[in-house]
């Protein structure tokens, strides 16, 4: 690891000022991606600004129609939240499937979405549920937040504070995990809401994406059979030693059908 300076601000304003003063600084959330990246010398920030001292960024608030999760809330906290398990079990199950227990004790929702790994789980939940990302300066719809591989709509120095999820009528998440890393080879999040059905897929492409044709089919009949025969073109999908693009295209249909089944059982 290259050397860096370390700062632990006690307010969001202080964190923002530190990022402003040190343009080559990086924010440190749970560190589950950033620290391995630093160890491999794939990044060389001059400074780390650790958000671990900001208690305001930790917590889960559930009210009538929505769930708001602080950016520094860990995957374990989301997975074990009684209220999330009761109101939006698909989200708790998704968090429980990230990495391993030790990673879930440290990794955070804010860190995960800001990193925007193409195979991360949370982007599917945000886009699938039509969540809103609340930063220190504005609100960003999930559909506009993930802009590409490891790319988001966040401006330099902008800090994620919370994510707000509307509670759907039913939802399910299914993923085909890489057996070693537990990242999604393909993961599909399906939500049925009063406004219609949303389907968001992670792992398959450079960034999370929706499947309008499946959404329309599921809106008229919310059952796994409704999407049988809808082919997903493999053209823009990821290919790597774990799975070809054609295999991923096939998995999109399978995982979406499984997510619908999970949603129906919830």
Partner 1 sequence: MVGTVSVAFSVNGRDVKAKVEPRTLLVTFLRENLGLTGTHVGCDTSQCGACCVLLDGRSVKSCTILAVQADGASVTTIEGLGTPEKLHPMQIAFNENHGLQCGFCTPGMIMSAVDFAQGNAEPTPDQVREWLEGNICRCTGYHNIVASVEAGARAMAKA
DSSP annotation of 11: S
Using the minimum distance from each CB to partner 1, give the nearer residue, 50 or 143. Answer: 50
- Interface characters, 28-67, with partner 1 (x: CB under 8 A): x--xx--xx-xx--------x-x-x---------------
Structure tokens at 216: 């329309």
Structure tokens at 197: 């059905």
- Interface characters, 69-108, with partner 1 (x: CB under 8 A): -------x----------------------xxxxx-xx--
Beta bridge partners of 48: 6, 26
Task: Kindly state the number of chain residues that form the binding site for partner 1, as judged by CB under 8 A.
Answer: 27
- Report the C-alpha gap between 251 and 113 in whole angstroms: 23
Please choose, from the candidates 62, 106, 54, the residue with its C-alpha nearest in 3D space to the C-alpha of residue 85.
Answer: 62
C-alpha distances in Å from residue 128, one per residue of 10, 27, 85, 103 = 33, 26, 17, 24
Task: Assess 27 for contact with partner 1 (CB under 8 A).
Answer: no
Q: Least distance from C-beta 101 to partner 1, angstroms?
A: 6
* Beta strand ranges found along the chain (DSSP E): 5-7, 25-28, 47-50, 60-62, 66-70, 132-135, 139-141, 146-148, 151-152, 160-166, 170-177, 184-193, 196-202, 209-210
Task: Assess 254 for contact with partner 1 (CB under 8 A).
Answer: no
Q: Least distance from C-beta 99 to partner 1, angstroms?
A: 7
Using the minimum distance from each CB to partner 1, give the nearer residue, 107 or 205. Answer: 107
Using the minimum distance from each CB to partner 1, give the nearer residue, 100 or 235. Answer: 100
Using the minimum distance from each CB to partner 1, give the nearer residue, 85 or 164. Answer: 85
- Report the C-alpha gap between 260 and 188 in whole angstroms: 9
Please choose, from the candidates 70, 47, 34, 78, the residue with its C-alpha nearest in 3D space to the C-alpha of residue 160.
Answer: 70
- Interface characters, 182-221, with partner 1 (x: CB under 8 A): x---------------------------------------
Rounded to the nearest 5°, which phi and psi values hold at 164?
Answer: -110, 120
Using the minimum distance from each CB to partner 1, give the nearer residue, 103 or 216. Answer: 103
CA 234 centroid distance within chain: 23
- Interface characters, 135-174, with partner 1 (x: CB under 8 A): ----------------------------------------
Task: Give the binding site for partner 1 (CB under 8 A).
Answer: 1-6, 8, 28, 31-32, 35-36, 38-39, 48, 50, 52, 76, 99-103, 105-106, 180, 182
């Amino acid at each position: 690891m290259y050397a860096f300076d370390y700062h632990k601000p006690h307010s969001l304003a202080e964190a923002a000022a530190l990022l402003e003063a040190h343009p080559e600084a990086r924010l440190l959330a749970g560190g589950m991606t950033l620290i391995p990246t630093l160890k491999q010398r794939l990044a060389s920030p001059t400074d780390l600004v650790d958000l671990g001292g900001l208690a305001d960024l930790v917590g889960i608030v559930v009210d009538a129609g929505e769930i708001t999760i602080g950016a520094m809330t860990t995957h374990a906290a989301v997975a074990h939240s009684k209220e999330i398990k009761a109101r939006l079990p698909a989200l708790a199950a998704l968090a429980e499937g990230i990495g391993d227990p030790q990673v879930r004790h440290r990794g955070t929702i804010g860190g995960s979405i800001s990193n925007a790994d193409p195979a991360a789980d949370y982007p599917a939940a945000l886009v699938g549920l039509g969540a809103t990302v609340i930063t220190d300066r504005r609100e960003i719809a999930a559909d506009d937040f993930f802009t590409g591989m490891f790319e988001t709509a966040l401006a330099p120095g902008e800090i994620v504070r919370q994510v707000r999820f509307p509670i759907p009528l039913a939802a399910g998440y299914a993923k085909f995990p890489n057996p070693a890393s537990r990242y999604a080879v393909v993961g599909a999040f399906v939500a049925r809401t009063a406004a219609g059905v949303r389907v968001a897929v992670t792992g398959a492409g450079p960034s999370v994406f929706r499947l309008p044709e499946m959404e329309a089919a599921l809106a008229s009949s919310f059952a796994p059979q409704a999407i049988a025969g809808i082919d997903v073109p493999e053209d823009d999908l990821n290919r790597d030693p774990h799975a070809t693009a054609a295999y991923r295209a096939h998995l999109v249909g399978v995982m979406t059908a499984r997510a619908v089944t999970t949603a129906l059982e919830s």
